[in-house]
A and B are shown apart, each in its own frame.
Chain A
Amino acid sequence: MARRDRHIAPLNEPGINEPVITVHDLYKAFQQNEVLRGFNFELQKGETLVILGRSGSGKSVLIKCIIGLMKPDKGSINVLGNDILSLSVQDMDKLRMRVGFLFQSNALYDSMTIRENLEFPMRRHLSNLDADEVNKRVMESLEDVGLAHTVDMMPSELSGGMQKRVALARTLILKPEIILYDEPTTGLDPITGAEISDLIVEIQEKYQTSSIVISHDMKCVEITADRIAVLLQGICYAQGTYETLVASEDASIKQFFH
């Protein structure tokens, strides 16, 4: 993603009825293994789209391409009106302020306290905020996920579910317009997984974010999805609501739901 331009133009904005993310004809291969073979989808404003697929089908690769952590071999990705493949490093950083990413492994900085973890993105992007405002934002984000009491703890002192919540709080701290969730319930017990799924819905309703949730946890899919895109053999095999896909007679779709 690292095209370096000295000139920093203001970022584009999407039109009123335009999708916030458009992925067109996306290809990505790792040596002989083609994981994405012409994937297409659109994410509308305020919508939660679940990308459903088997392990190793390329779901995480897809959202890593969207956030610019991986470069696709072919195709186009438009995020909030910006073609991310042609953005400069500086513009990409500006765009990333508006797009949150929740990692499968949580990716909390284990040498920092929870407070420092949450302050980290703010120190770079909102350096004009005073200490009181920073503290207020940190506490507000932690309260959103019900973990205000953990503010001075280390990530290693928290359970897996709590770490996931803190990671979500860190994602929320910059108030992103889009949140990408990479398998948010993986590694959690069913009850904690359902709590995280409920939290995703609560956050979507509170902040009116648009979200992409990568998952193969059907409970999470059922709770969070406004619409589902099934990633099979590198393409968007089917799209629809949870109810329409549950009712599908297609054997490949059925295997996810039954």
Chain B
Amino acid sequence: MFRHIMVPVDLAHEERLGHALSVAADLARHWSARVTYVGVGTNTPGVLAHTPEEYTARLAAFAQAQGVAHGIEAAAHATIAHDPTTDLDDALLRAVDETGADLVVMQSHIPGLMDYVWPSNGGKIAGHASASVLVVRG
């Protein structure tokens, strides 16, 4: 059914990734699909890394660990945004095309008042991506 699953991850808030990681791994095993973990970094030093290379290495290590833990074929794809506060959705949508994934599994929060003003990233991706999108809550 699905051959390539993309999972956006925010390494600065790994604890908030919740069920998305295990859901993606389950689906990958079910369909023998490979998983690409996508991270959006900046070219300015950030919480996670001093340089883009450091960030890429960190994301690759994360993907490898996930692959080993869940017994799946895992890869990492890092992309940069000039202004991640506002460009995150666009960067992720670009990554969907770049990776050629046919399913996106991503974590989202339970919608609140502010989601009427600023839709969640999951909502925006589901609304615009060419691939199928599974938004995992909680």
Partners in one complex: no
